[in-house]
Structure 1
C-alpha cells in the first residue's frame, strides 16, 4: 500500500459527533442489502425455482466482493468521502429495480448486484471511516475497539430491521413485492444527504503511485490473519444464511398462513441475537489472545449441531433455537474479526484489510445455493449436509485454538 492515511486534527472541533451520519448510511444500506432475504419464501411460492432464488441471494456477493476489494484501497488512496457518498444512491437504485422486477430474474439479479456494490462500499469504506471518526481527534477516546463495535452494530441492526420490516410488509401489507423496497429507497436518499456532511479523515495523496500497488495488501498474509481472522470470517454469513435462508425454506410447508412472516421472524431473531451480543463482545475479547474468536466458533459448532436436529424434526422451536445460537456466533465473530483487524492493520491499509475480511465472510452466502443444488441433483439430505458443517466448524475452531496466542506480526 502506498497511500498514507492522515487523521486531520484541524477538523476536530467541527467533526466531533459526526460519526452518526456514517453509521446511519451504513444502517440504511444494510437494510437494503438484507430485505431480500425473508422474501425468498415468497419468490419460491410465486414459481421461481428454489436454486434460482438462492442464486439471487448470492448474486449480491458479485457486487460486494469487487466493491470491497477495490473500494477499500481506493478510499485509502483518495479519501473516504468520494467512495462512500454514492453508496446510498447505488443502494436506492438497486431497491428500485427489486421493487419493479418481481417477475424478471434479470432485473432482480441487477438489483441484487447494485445493492451488493453499495454494501461493499459501506462495509469497507464506511466501516473504516466510522472507525476513524470514533477516535481522537474526531471523538472522545472511549477505549479500543469502539469503532469496530459501532460498525458491526450499525450493519447488524440494518440487516435485522430491514429483514423484519420487509417480511411483515410482504405478508400483510399492500404491494407485497414493492413496498419494502420503496421504503428503503426513501431511507437511502435521506442517508445520502447526511453522509455528505461527514468530515473527511484521509488526506488525498498528490502522487499516490500506481493503483495496482494499492490493491496489494501484504498484511493479509500475516499468520494471525490467516489462522484466526479467516476461520471466523468463513463462518459469519455461512452460519447466518443457514439460520435465516435455509431453515425457513425447509419449514415453509409446516408454517401455515404466514410463511413469509415466519421467515422474517427467523431472520430478525438471528440478527437480533447477533446485535445484542455485540454489546458485550468487548468483555469477551482479550488482546493478545483469540478468546473472542474461540467463543464465536463454539457458538457456531453448537448452532450447526442444532441445525442438524432442526432439519430432522422441522419444528418451530428447534428452528428458533438454531437461529439464536447461530446468531450469537455471528455477532461475536463480527466484532472479533473487526477488532483483530484494527490491531493488525497499519493506518494505510485498514480499509483494504477490512475488505478482505468481508470478502471472505460474504462467500458464505453461497451456502444455500450449494445445499439446494446438492439436495436436488444428488439427493443429499439437509441433516447430513449440516453434519458436514459441524465437522468443518470444529476444524476451524481447532485451527484458532492452535494459534490462540500467535502475534500479529508473526509472518513479517
Structure 2
C-alpha cells in the first residue's frame, strides 16, 4: 500500500507544481504594479508639501503613461525574441530605481517626474511580457480547458494596484517621514521578487540568427482588433484612473484631514472590485459573443453616472460607490480585452499584440489629467457627463462592430 501511495502522490505533486508555476511571474507583475500605483494616494500630500497646482500633480500621475507606452511596445516583442525572464528581471530592477527616485521626490518635483517615468517604463515591460508569461505558464488550463491567464493577470495587477496605494496611504497618513516610509515596502517586495522570477520556468526559447519574419494577421482579425479591441482598451484604465486619481480630490474638503487614507481606501476598493468581478467576467465570456463586451462597458457607464452624482453632491460615500462600480468596469474591460487579444494573436505574436493592446489601454490614465486641466473652465459634473456619453457611444459602436462575422 505504501508503494501505491507513492506512485499516486508523485503525479499529484507534479500537477500541483504545474498549477503553481505561474506564481513567480505573478509576484513579479504584482510587485511592479505596487510600484506603479503606490504614488496615487500621495498626490494630495505632494500638492501640499511642494505647493503644486492640481494640474501639475495630475501631470506627475499621467507622466507614467509616457514611460509606460515605450515599455509596452519594446518589452513585449523583446520578450518574444529573447524570453520572458530576460525581460522581467531587469524590469524589477528598473521598478526599484523608480521608487528610489520617488523617495527623493520630497525634495523637488523633478525627482517625481523621473520616478514616474521609470515606474511607467517598468510597468510597460512587465505587463506585456508578464501577460504572455502568465498565460504560457497557465497552459495546463483551468476548468473545461480554459486558460486562466487573463484572470490571473488581472488579479495580480489588481493586487499590486490595490495593496500598494493602501499601504503607502496609511504610512503617509500616520507614520513619520511621509515622503519616504510609504515607499519602503515596495523596495522589499521587488527585491524579494527577483530571485523568484529567476527560478520561474522560461516559456519562450531565445531566438538565434536573423529575426524570423512574423506571420501577418488575417484581415478579419485585424479588423476586429481595430474596431472592437482598440475602442474598448482606453476604458480599462480610464475608468480606474477617474475613480482613484480624480474623484477623491473633489471631496477632500469634506474629509476632515483624512484625505490621504481616504484616497488609499478608494484605490484599494477600485482594485478589489476589479478582482471580485472576475467570476462574472468568466461566465459572461463566450468566444465571439458580445455579452462580456456589452456588460463591461455598461458597468463603466453606470459608474460614471454615479461619479456625476458624487461631483454634484460632493459626497464621499458616493465617491466610494463610484469607485466600486468603476473598479468592476475596469476588471471586466481588462479581461474582455485580454481574451480578445489571446484569441486573435498567434503564439509568436502574443506578447507584441498584448503590448499594443495595453499601450492603448494605458492611455486611459490620462483621463484624470484631462479632467483636472479642464476643471477651471467646465464644472466637474459636466465633464463627467461628457465622459459617460463617450463611454455609451463606445458601447454602441463596439457591440455593433462585434456582430460582424
Show CA shifts across 1:193-231 (max 9, x none): 110111111122222427xx7699888971211222222
Equivalent pair of 2:84/2:129 in contact (CA under 8 Å): yes
Residue 7 (structure 1) aligns with: none
Structure 1 residues 141 and 265: alpha-carbon distance in aligned structure 2, compared to 1, 3 A threshold: closer
Residue 203 (structure 1) aligns with: 205
Structure 1 residues 236 and 260: alpha-carbon distance in aligned structure 2, compared to 1, 3 A threshold: same
Residue from 21, 38, 42 that aligns with 1:39: 42
Residue 95 (structure 2) aligns with: 91
Structure 1 residues 67 and 217: alpha-carbon distance in aligned structure 2, compared to 1, 3 A threshold: farther
Structure 1 residues 262 and 75: alpha-carbon distance in aligned structure 2, compared to 1, 3 A threshold: same
In the aligned structure 2, how far is the partner of 1:232 from the partner of 1:151? 18
- Give the superposition deviation at 1:316: 1.5
Residue 235 (structure 1) aligns with: 235
- Give the superposition deviation at 1:64: 0.9
Equivalent pair of 2:269/2:324 in contact (CA under 8 Å): yes
Residue 123 (structure 1) aligns with: 127
Residue 333 (structure 2) aligns with: 333
Equivalent pair of 2:65/2:362 in contact (CA under 8 Å): yes
Equivalent pair of 1:244/1:263 in contact (CA under 8 Å): yes
In the aligned structure 2, how far is the partner of 1:153 from the partner of 1:371? 28
In the aligned structure 1, how far is the partner of 2:36 from the partner of 2:170? 17
Equivalent pair of 1:135/1:141 in contact (CA under 8 Å): no
Residue 399 (structure 2) aligns with: 401
Equivalent pair of 2:25/2:134 in contact (CA under 8 Å): yes
Aligned pairs for 1:150-165 (under 5 A) are 150-165=152-167
Equivalent pair of 1:22/1:126 in contact (CA under 8 Å): yes
Gap regions ≥5 residues in structure 2:
1-13
Equivalent pair of 1:28/1:191 in contact (CA under 8 Å): yes
SS at match of 2:47: helix
- Give the superposition deviation at 1:14: 8.0
Q: Normalization by structure 1: what TM-score?
A: 0.90
- Give the superposition deviation at 1:405: 3.5
Structure 1 residues 350 and 220: alpha-carbon distance in aligned structure 2, compared to 1, 3 A threshold: farther
Structure 1 residues 256 and 169: alpha-carbon distance in aligned structure 2, compared to 1, 3 A threshold: same
Equivalent pair of 2:132/2:351 in contact (CA under 8 Å): yes
Residue 348 (structure 1) aligns with: 348
Residue 6 (structure 1) aligns with: none
Name the count of aligned residue pairs: 391
Residue 321 (structure 2) aligns with: 321
Q: Normalization by structure 2: what TM-score?
A: 0.92
In the aligned structure 2, how far is the partner of 1:392 from the partner of 1:380? 16
Aligned pairs for 1:302-313 (under 5 A) are 302-313=302-313
